[in-house]
Amino acid sequence: MDPILSNSAIYVTLTLLTIFSSFNIEGVSGAGFTVINRCGHTVWPGILANAGSPAMDSTGFELPPGASRSFQSPPNWSGRFWGRSGCTFDPVSGQGSCLTGDCSTNQIECNGNNANPPTTLAEFTIVSGSQDFYDVSLVDGYNLPMIVEPSGGVGSCLSTGCITDLNQQCPAELRVGSGEACKSACEAFGSPEYCCSGAYRTPDTCKPSFYSQMFKAACPRSYSYAYDDATSTFTCTGADYAITFCPSLTSQKSARDTSQTPSTNGSEAGSGDGLNSSWLSNIFSGDSSTTLSSSAWPFTLIVSAISSLFLSFLYL
């Protein structure tokens, strides 16, 4: 055996072992999130991890107009994002509060506290190596327009959100203050038929109300009440996500498009393992035009190492 080729094979083998020890083939990196503010005013986003999921790098921060901030989730993470508005925080002590979306910590960081309704929510369940689930919910009311847009994933991967200014359309009985936010009927009245509780706690007994239908007409892809799953839950595999407050006209068009609806039976286009066969062939052909999400890079490195190892042994 040629000593040079032998050393090359050993080097590639060690590289491959290092990659396998550093990455979980099912996508150890979770998903990437970019929070964007396209409003004409500052937004203070809040982030809450669900029980059993670790917190992100921040649980609340200031986001001036035109600014963005990115986060990487742990694998198998679930939680929610929302925007706070009308906030005032003391520059010395850091203490303060917000008119909408406040999390009652008296600080910019929410530190594990949920948003006080009414608040527009972006909710995620990131499943490493399989389908993510995501939605934009108005079940807790509305305060800011918001859209969620996946990128680099496999499956239907539709954008969703509520881009209509519901504060301008909010009925007087749901309105907060001078129109800073719009309550849900459950928050406003507390009745079981609006809250899907008590005798109305099942999908068969809790039906859309006049108010939830108003929300649904304005934002057809958003959750309008507790059992609005069929047209409001979306899936994508191996994606990163942009969460935009006050989205642009281009994003608004995609969020309003109701010609495509989310799949509820797991039959989205693309392979269920999160790998697109044409993308895989491009690795070997040298076509790098396809954009990959951050969660796909570990697999890319592994495939590249396997290819190198195979070629090195082929010429021994």
For 20-61, how does the pLDDT look when each residue is reduced to its tens digit (9 = 90+)?
444 434 345 789 999 999 999 999 999 999 999 999 999 999
Q: Are residues 146 and 223 in the same domain?
A: yes
Q: Quick one: average pLDDT of 107-113? A: 97
Beta-strand pair 146-151/160-162: antiparallel
Q: Are residues 50 and 129 in the same domain?
A: yes
The residue segments making up the domain with residue 13 are 3-24+273-314
Six token digits for residue 174: 């749901």
Q: Are residues 50 and 130 in the same domain?
A: yes
Q: Is 150 a domain residue?
A: yes
* Single-letter amino acid, residue 213: Q
Q: Are residues 14 and 147 in the same domain?
A: no
Please state the pTM of the whole predicted model. 0.74
Q: Are residues 143 and 237 in the same domain?
A: yes
Q: Quick one: average pLDDT of 282-288? A: 32
Q: What is the pLDDT of residue 230?
A: 87
* Single-letter amino acid, residue 34: T
Q: Are residues 231 and 285 in the same domain?
A: no
pLDDT at 170 over 50: yes
Q: Is 261 a domain residue?
A: no
Q: Are residues 298 and 213 in the same domain?
A: no
Q: Is 264 a domain residue?
A: no
pLDDT at 188 over 80: yes
Q: Are residues 172 and 304 in the same domain?
A: no
* Single-letter amino acid, residue 180: E
CB atoms < 10 A from the CB of 288, how many?
A: 10
* Single-letter amino acid, residue 55: A
Count of H-run helices and E-run strands, the chain: 8, 14
- Given a contact cutoff of 8 angstroms between Cβ atoms, the answer to whether 219 and 169 are in contact is no
Q: Are residues 91 and 182 in the same domain?
A: yes
Number of domains in the chain: 2
